[in-house]
Structures are given as C-alpha cells and as structure tokens.
Amino acid sequence: MLKKNPKTRCERLVMEKAKGVCRFYNKIQSAYARILEENEEVEEICCNVAFETEELSGYTSDFVCRKTDGEFLVRECVERRKLSWPSVVQLLDASRDYWTRRGVVDWGIVIDREAEEDE
C-alpha cells in the first residue's frame, strides 16, 4: 500500500497485461509485477488502484488483477521490517476488509526476502 501520488522516484514499465504504463515505487512492486506478468492465471494487471472510501482515501492498493476465471486477485507490497508497525498493520487490515466487502477472496501481501546470513 502506498500513499496516492507518492513524491518518490519510480520505475516506469510497459507491461503486456496492463493498460498503459505501470509505475513502481519500490523493488518489491517491480519484482512482483514481473511475476504477475508471467502468471498464466492473470489476465489483466492494474497497479496503484485508489481506494474509494473515506477510511483509506489517499492510499492505493499495489495490484488489483483480473484472473482468467473472472475472479480478482489483490496484493499489497510491504517491506518485512514494516510488518510490525501498528500503522502498517492497520492499513493492511483496512485494505483486506475493503476488498473482502467487494467480493475479493484472493487478497494477500507480498514481502521482501530476509537478508541472508553471511557464512
């Protein structure tokens, strides 16, 4: 989840399954977009979809995708270190509730890998 119109650098990428140019504001989004592009179950990818509710105004969901069976898949990208932050947990819960009320069953989070220990 990101704030709407973040004031940070972004990577712009044209994807076959997306309409127009996708903007990615972190490495997690960028890497997961490539996974979605290769996923045969995903038919259409929408990035940074704004919420239409007062509670979440000013925020976006990272990915809202239509699958080949007509169902939707929603993913929120979060850095592992931020998973324990109360504000992030609150936003993720609100996102899950928002999409569940709209009939989405396939909601999840995408996190970065743990730093590997040097041996």
Q: What CATH number is given to the structural domain containing 71?
A: 3.40.1350.10
Q: Please give the residue that has the higher pLDDT: either 19 or 68.
A: 68
How far out from the chain centre does Cα 57 lie? 16
- pTM of the predicted structure, to 2 decimals: 0.89
Q: Which residues pair with 47 in a beta bridge?
A: 63
pLDDT of residue 7: 72
Range of the domain at 97: 2-111
CA angle (19 as vertex; 59, 63 as ends), nearest 5: 35
Q: How many domains does the chain fold into?
A: 1
Rounded CA separation 92/83 (Å): 9
6-63 pLDDT, tens digit each: 777 888 989 999 988 899 999 999 999 999 999 999 999 999 999 998 888 899 999 9
- 11 SS3 class: strand
Rounded CA separation 80/17 (Å): 27
Rounded CA separation 99/97 (Å): 6
Over pLDDT 90: what percentage of the chain? 74
